[in-house]
Structure 1
Amino acid sequence: MADEREVSEQVLIERLIATVPRVQDGIEAQREQRRLIHELMRRNWSQERIAKLLKVSQQAISKRLKRPIEGDPTTE
């Protein structure tokens, strides 16, 4: 990428605005993943099994489980 000082403010603004949908997509994917993890746990999957499936640590799954599921009154 070119030196940001050489790019006009308008180009920087356009780039920043263009990131919004990508960030929102990432947030939505995280929410969906948490919902699915909670559902698998409800079906007696272990954190370790889910972690292996997602190629993350068991601790990462534990952390995701601590966050509430949006739209679920029992977790908010």
Structure 2
Amino acid sequence: MNIALPTDWTDFMILMIFQLGITKAKQFKKVIAALKKNNWKEAIVQVRDSNWDRQTPKRVNDMISTLTNGYVLIPC
């Protein structure tokens, strides 16, 4: 994915790709489209409207919290 992102969103995408794999992450077309437009709120809405969020809600909530609250998430 060739998108210029702020550091927090870069970190988010790295964790997303780590969990889902690059092939699955590329299927988040609406998230990617929102990120290309710097529409951070819409990207979060689209992440929330995904099987990924329904299947691993705690992880996704933690990752979104890093974006909205500004703290650093260190995966264990």
**TM-score band w.r.t. shorter chain:** under 0.3
TM-score normalized by the length of structure 1? 0.28
Q: Which has the higher contact order (CA 8 A, sep 6+)?
A: 2
Larger radius of gyration: 1
TM-score normalized by the length of structure 2? 0.28
